[in-house]
Amino acid sequence: MKSNDVILQTVANIVLFIILMFSVFLFFNGHHEPGGGFIGGLMTSSALVLLLLAYDLETVKRILPVDFKLVTAAGLLVAVGTGMGSFFFGAPFLSQTYDYFHFPVLGELELATALIFDVGVYLVVVGITLTIIQTIGEDR
Amino acid sequence: MIQGLLTVSAVILSLSILLALYRVAKGPSMPDRVLALDMIGINLISLVAVVSLIQETTAYLEVFLLLGILAFIGTVALSKFIEKGVVIERRRD
């Protein structure tokens, strides 16, 4: 039986970008309010799961040709790298710092090195959840 | 006054969730249960909103959007499982 999923695919094409923007918002919100790398990564992977539901496994692999095991490895490398980076300044492992910078449009912003550790957490969560889902979804 | 009204609406929303739970437990067919679970998700959003008004905090604002997105994706996945038998297809014809 040939089925027609035009409503689901049209809705998924629009909602995908809303969910991705929400995940980026949660990721950058995590320093002072609820949010952070873990929930941001889960929202990004749920957006890609919606894409997997609306289309199929090979289409998603074609439009997003990323090996998610490598994403997990890159995230772990970033997280360890922020820990090791504090050695260059004579500080203990995983110690963090922050400073205020001035940007042309955004104004004064507080940038912390904990954000780079959060990038590592984000990449690990996205990589692991999508590796699990793609591995289970392959029925052969 | 406002607190009393909010408490009453929270109780009404809880009753609505209980009625939907009865449909989940009793429902004769599978689509009944899926629709009742979707309704529970939407009612939970309202309940969290009322609770955040009662506690006078904005810490739950992300939870509304999160619950909406998760209820949508869960309902789509269950519907696809009922219709086609697989959730994620390998190759669409």
Domains and CATH numbers, chain B: 1-84 (1.10.287)
pLDDT at A3: 73
Contact A1, A82 (CB under 8 A): no
**pLDDT tens for each residue of chain A, 140 residues long:** 567 889 999 999 999 999 999 999 999 988 888 888 999 999 999 999 999 999 888 888 898 999 999 999 999 999 999 988 888 888 888 888 888 888 888 778 888 888 899 999 999 999 999 999 988 887 65
Which of A1, A42, A46, A60 to mutate: most B Cβ within 10 Å?
A: A46
Say which amino acid occupies B8. V
- For residue B93, pLDDT beyond 80: no
Q: Is the dihedral of CA A136, A63, A78, A23 positive or negative?
A: negative
- What ranges do the domains of chain A cover? 5-138
pLDDT value for A74: 95
The CA radius of gyration of chain A, in Å to the nearest whole number, is 18
Q: Which of residues 4-43 of A touch B (CB under 8 A)?
A: 8, 15, 19, 22, 26, 29, 33-35, 39, 43
Q: What percent of chain B has pLDDT over 90?
A: 77
pLDDT for B8: 96
Whether this prediction's pTM lies above 0.95 is answered by: no
Residues of A in contact with B88 (CB under 8 A): 52-53, 56-57, 133, 137
Q: Would you state the pLDDT for residue B70?
A: 94
Average pLDDT (B73-93) is 87
Q: Do A53 and B88 touch (CB under 8 A)?
A: yes
Any B CB within 8 A of A49 CB = yes
Calculate the alpha carbon distances from B35 to A6, A46, A104, B31, B42 in Å.
21, 21, 50, 6, 11
**Distance between A114 CA and the closest CA of chain B, angstroms:** 22
- Chain A nearest CA to B32, separation (Å): 20
Q: Round to whole Å and give the CA distance between A88 and A5.
A: 55
Closest residue in chain B to residue A34, using alpha carbons only: B59
Quote the pLDDT of residue B23.
94
A55 vs B66, B86, B92: nearest CB: B92
pLDDT score of A1: 56
Averaged pLDDT for residues B42-59 = 93
Return the closest-CA partner of residue A130 out of A59, A60, A80, A54.
Answer: A60
